[in-house]
Every structure is written in C-alpha cells, then in structure tokens.
C-alpha cells in the first residue's frame, strides 16, 4: 500500500522569507509553494520586448512598468510573478514590503505549453479580484497571436484578438501601441506562420 506524504503548508511569512533568498521564483497558492518553471529564450525575449516598450512609452507619465516583481492577490491568498505589469499612480505594496505589489492596471502573460490553460482561466479569475486591474494580455510565443481582455465601466470584460505580424496591439489601459513585429522582435518560430 502506498502512503502519500502530506504536503507541507507554509504560512505567508514563511513563504516571503524563503523567497528573499530563493535561487528560483516560486508562487504561493494559499499555503502551498509551487516552483515556477523555467522559460524559453523566446519567452524571455518577448517579455523583454514588451517591458522595454512599455517602460519607454510610459516615461514621464504617471505609470510604471515592472517585470519579475511579485504580485499579492489578497482575496485568493496568491503570490505570483506576472511576466509584465503596469501600475498607474501610486505604487501600493503589501504593508512593510518593497517586493510585493497590490495594484496593477495591466498584466501581460506570455503563454507557455505548461501554463497556458492556468493563465487563461484560474489566474485570470484571481487577477480580476484586484480592483485596479483593467487589462490582461496573453501573448502566444509560437505565432503572432495576442489575446486581450479589457474591463469596461460596467465591469464586463471585452475580448479582442490580434493576429499576424502587421497587427498593432493597443494597450488600452495605458494608451500605448506596440506592433506585433516589435513584440516578437528576434523571435524565430519553429513552424513559421508569418504574413
């Protein structure tokens, strides 16, 4: 008979303390610590391209772009690291911390095979509990394809899809545009599907 060992449940303070010295990033899922999988070169390139564009476009505005910063989602007791986030106005952090924010208006996730379903469903549900959150972009890393969700004034979410190398993605929440060719700069698709 197999006996399954009980998974250790971590307090939030234990998780935060471990993250300060962790070699790799981990997500916190209501007591469970889950190691984040490593990304591919293309995944990293796309994140860098989007972050660089947003950082440059937001210079001098009342908004800041972040990458590799932890987001705390109080309602679901989740700590996660979105690929790119933008905070508008004052940066709100968890009390006593400078490594965990609470108020992004825009979140971008670059999809990988292992996380795409979670990013589209559960993670999006968690993100929607953040009052300031108004826009979610899911970027496919194997073709020119971006899914966008924008929150309306009536709290509905509108869906828009951008496809093809010549498309222009409009980041509605921060009034920034970025071409697909810039998003995917230096990315070489294995099965090339270009315009």
What confidence tens digit (pLDDT) does each residue in 111-135 have? 987 666 666 778 999 999 999 999 9
Mean pLDDT of the chain: 90
What is the predicted pLDDT for the residue at 165?
A: 95
What is the pLDDT confidence band of residue 81, given thresholds at 50, 70 and 90? very high
Q: What is the pLDDT of residue 148?
A: 98
Q: What confidence score (pLDDT) does residue 123 get?
A: 92
In a 3-state reduction of DSSP, which class is residue 39? Answer: coil
Phi and psi, residue 43, nearest 5°: -55, -50
Residue 28, token pair as written in the block:
């916190």
Distance CA 119, CA 82 (A): 10
pLDDT of 191 reads: 62
Cα distances from 122 to residues 32, 90, 129, 155, 177, in angstroms, run: 16, 27, 11, 18, 27
- Can you tell me the mean pLDDT for 16-20? 88
Which of the two residues, 149 and 191, has the higher pLDDT score? Answer: 149
pLDDT digits (tens, 9 = 90+) for 164-184: 999 999 999 999 999 999 999
> What is the chain's alpha carbon radius of gyration, rounded to the nearest angstrom?
17
What's domain 39-183's architecture?
A: Alpha-Beta Complex (3.90)
pLDDT at 117: 63
The residue extents of the domains of the chain are 39-183
């Amino acid at each position: 008979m197999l006996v399954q060992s009980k998974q250790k449940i971590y307090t939030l303070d234990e998780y935060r303390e471990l993250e300060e010295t962790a070699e790799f990033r981990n997500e916190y899922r209501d007591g469970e610590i889950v190691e984040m999988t490593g990304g591919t070169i293309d995944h990293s390139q796309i994140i860098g391209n989007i972050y660089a564009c947003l950082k440059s476009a937001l210079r001098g505005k009342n908004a800041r772009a972040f990458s590799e910063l932890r987001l705390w989602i109080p309602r679901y007791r989740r700590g996660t690291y979105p690929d790119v986030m933008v905070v508008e106005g004052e940066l709100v952090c968890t009390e006593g911390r400078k490594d965990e924010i609470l108020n992004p208006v825009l979140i971008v996730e670059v999809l990988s095979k292992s996380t795409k379903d979670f990013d589209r469903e559960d993670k999006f549900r968690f993100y929607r509990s953040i009052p300031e959150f108004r826009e979610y972009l899911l970027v496919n890393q194997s073709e020119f394809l971006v899914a966008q969700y924008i929150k309306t004034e009536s709290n509905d979410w509108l869906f828009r899809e951008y496809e093809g190398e010549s498309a222009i993605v409009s980041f509605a929440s921060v009034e920034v545009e970025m071409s697909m060719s810039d998003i995917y700069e230096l990315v070489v698709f294995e099965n090339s599907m270009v315009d």
